[in-house]
Homo-oligomer: A and B are copies of this chain.
Amino acid sequence: MTTQLPLNDLFLRACKRENVERTPVWFMRQAGRYLPEYRAVRAKVDFLTLCKTPDLAAEVTIQPVDIIGVDAAIIFSDILVVPEAMGMELIVEEGKGGPRFPSPIRSRADIDKLPVPDPNSKLRFVMDALRTTRKNLNDKVPLIGFSGSPWTLAAYMVEGRGSKNFRFIKELIFSSPKDAHALLDKLARAVAAYLSAQIESGAQAVQIFDTWGGILGQEEFEEFSLRYIKQVLSLLKSKGAPVIIFCKDCGHSLEKIADAGAEVVGLDWTIDIGKAREMIGSYVALQGNLDPTMLYATPERIEQGVQSILKKFGKGNGHVFNLGHGILPDTPVENVRAFVNAVKKFSVQYH
């Protein structure tokens, strides 16, 4: 399934730092609520049902390719389906403070009873969605799979939901580091199996989201987050698909992240992409990094923002344009188009 190159393979070439005619662009959460066509599908089914209905997941995955003109599709799903597949009850009620696990992990016994799920059974709906999407995309653009990082999944599983201070997961790593490592090792194996299965099901690249890496000090980031991303990467090495790692708010450890073994490093908007290229651009591609809130500004301001990032990166290969974090749900669609079109228009001169 992965042998056929897409007609537009700019994204895959940029991941490998090969020549491209212009900078490819896609963006995190591009299949989402800012699109009226997405909201129309969601009006019929709830969020988790959408994730678990391959035909519908494929439909919303492809929407931004057709409507906005992005250079890659990313499978519509949620990082929390992995803990759910490990037996944790997951509740998603939109507008009620985000997804949550009503029975969070709080003891070694809770950790020990978690299975490493077979992704082709418990997460088969993701694999089916990938296969359907590949078929329906018909090699128009590449398809990206994804997972949360072990650390980010652990943070959600232990806190039970998103958190401001992350008291419980911090207590776990500081007071019971052995238990934390047991959980993270299990999650690393689960994530590696999950991403492997995604690649086998048609994902032509995969991204690891370390949304909560930035809540850790540098030593703890290396010990509890990056170490397990590396474990996942080593298990994925033979798969041949480019891997993107995106650790939000972790600019302090950029060189260590780049050394982890992924082909592409995602940058949030607080990192200067020019400086990042100087530091690590000779051995990894960079993905990013427009501030998502800039899409609330005028199309002219958005064009300036895009040009500024292209200029900072400079001439040459190895740049995948993206936002510095997921698009916000109330972003005006015309501004999203202005963003994507600006990348396509202004990046030509840098190649």
Contact = CB atoms under 8 A, between A and B. Distances in A.
A270 B174 contact: no
A269 B305 CA distance: 30
B214 A270 contact: yes
A181 interface: no
Nearest to A217: B269
B216 A174 contact: no
How many copies the complex holds: the figure is 2
A165 B328 contact: yes
A171 B217 contact: no
Given A216-B270, A217-B270, A270-B218, A294 B252 contact: no
Contact of A175 (B170, B221, B272, B296): B296
Contact of A171 (B293, B308, B324): B293
Interface in A196-229: 214, 216-221
A249 interface: yes
B167 A328 contact: yes
A182 interface: no
Interface string A109-136: 0000000000000000000000000000
Contact of A166 (B219, B220, B270, B293): B293
18 contacts: A165-B293, A167-B293, A167-B296, A167-B330, A170-B293, A170-B296, A174-B293, A174-B305, A175-B297, A175-B298, A214-B270, A217-B269, A217-B291, A218-B270, A220-B291, A249-B249, A251-B251, A252-B272
A301 B271 CA distance: 32
A328 B214 CA distance: 18
Chain A interface extent, by class: 20 to 34
Contact of A174 (B251, B271, B297, B330): B297
Nearest to A291: B217
Nearest to A294: B174
Interface string A251-277: 110000000000000000111100000
- Of listed A165, A220, A251, A330, residue having the most chain B CB within 10 A: A165
Interface in A151-194: 165-167, 170-171, 174-175
A270 B252 contact: yes
Interface class of chain A by DSSP: helix
A271 B252 contact: yes
Contacts of A328: 165, 167
A296 B219 CA distance: 18
Contacts of A171: 293, 296-297
A320 to B, nearest CB: 18
A120 B330 CA distance: 43
A329 to B, nearest CB: 10
Contacts of A296: 167, 170-171, 174-175
Contacts of A214: 249, 270
A186 to B, nearest CB: 23
B170 A272 contact: no
A332 to B, nearest CB: 11
A152 to B, nearest CB: 16
Given A165-B293, A217-B291, A217-B324, 17 more contacts: A165-B292, A165-B328, A167-B293, A167-B296, A170-B291, A171-B296, A174-B297, A174-B301, A216-B270, A217-B269, A217-B270, A218-B270, A221-B270, A249-B249, A249-B270, A251-B251, A251-B252
